[in-house]
A = this chain, B = another copy of it.
Amino acid sequence: MTLKDLAEMLGLSPTTVSRALNGFPEVAETTRRRVEAAALAHGYRPNSQARRLATGRAMAIGHVIPLSRQNEMLNPIFGDFIAGASAVYATAGYDMVLITVADADQSRAYRALRAQGNVDGVIVQGPRAQDSRIALLSDLGLPFVVHGRASGVDLPYAHVDVNSARAFERATRFLIDLGHRRIALVNGLEEMDFALRRRRGFERALGERGLAPDPHLMLSGEMTEAQGHAAAHRLLARHDPPTAFLTSSLLSAMGVRRALWDLGLKMGRDVSILTHDDELGYFRNGAEEPIFTATRASVRAAGRRCAEILLAQIAEPGAPPVTELMEAVLVVGASTGPAPGARP
């Protein structure tokens, strides 16, 4: 059932049928109703390929996942981010295209996307401190929105980020106020922009209270359970072990927690663990109560906003890039207690 077929059945021209179905104002109401009824009755659906070709719009958004960072797909936030974005696409009639790309091919892949025209824009995930993708995409004129930021990039570009620095600054200050002096930072890979920002916030809070950051207490690595576990073991084996852990993700927090169990240490009495809510904190940290809802909602919101901003940008290419900074919700759990030996 094509537009032409439908038009013939109705004794109308394809143009009129197209206009009726696409809500053009000049169509007579009676005609529109007739057309709509017929379309419904015959289950007519415009062929999307044809429409795409005719309009020059792909009606699709690309989400590019670098293969090296497939961990991100495993990463719990990924699903929620996608869920948030896809809800927006669905209502706007866009498709969501997932594209996995080898690291070496990044540049080629984006150029191909541009030239082939099978997406109208892309979402950039997991930006690094100096992310070449941003310059490349600006250059190509392919609309994009970054989830996160790239500290080393000067160009203006649309992005949605969470205030990682402030979140970690507040978290660190919180631990200091509980009397902790030796606080470990189990951070993500520092080539990732968010990890850098988190460390900066951590150091800022320490500096503000006249504490020098101890490099031995600052580790970074892939944010996995295993890494958190290994890091905590290493740190707790020191002659001057930390009394508190600030971790960058739920997964590493779980690993840290497991290390404490290994050693028979009690959370909140011997050692405190604090992670923040916005990146991966699917559990009320330390407290044993999961808080899926709150965090999933915030990640989903980020996905939604990224998608909305991108669609707006596609609709109005001239507009200045929208940037949004969400404040992280710090969720402090029951096990985050005073430092051992600290006066209350």
Contact = CB atoms under 8 A, between A and B. Distances in A.
A294 interface: no
Interface stretch (A110-118, A189-197, A311-319): A110-118
A78 interface: yes
Interface residues of A, number: 53
A49 interface: yes
Interface stretch (A90-98, A156-164, A200-208, A241-249): A90-98
Interface in A63-83: 65, 70, 72-76, 78-80, 82-83
B45 A53 contact: no
A243 to B, nearest CB: 21
Given A87-B100, A90-B100, A96-B98, A117 B79 contact: no
Contacts of A43: 111, 115
Contacts of A96: 97-99
Interface in A278-319: 283, 288, 290, 292, 296
A46 interface: yes
B258 A288 contact: yes
B112 A45 contact: yes
A98 B112 contact: no
Interface string A260-273: 01100000000000
Interface string A48-71: 111011000010100001000010
A224 interface: yes
Contacts of A292: 224, 226
Contact of A49 (B49, B95, B112, B225): B49
Contacts of A229: 288, 290
19 contacts: A43-B111, A45-B116, A47-B53, A48-B117, A49-B58, A49-B117, A52-B52, A60-B97, A65-B86, A70-B79, A74-B79, A86-B99, A86-B100, A95-B97, A96-B98, A97-B97, A229-B290, A254-B254, A262-B288
Interface of A: 1, 43-50, 52-53, 58, 60, 65, 70, 72-76, 78-80, 82-83, 86-87, 90, 95-100, 111-112, 115-118, 224-226, 229, 254, 258, 261-262, 283, 288, 290, 292, 296
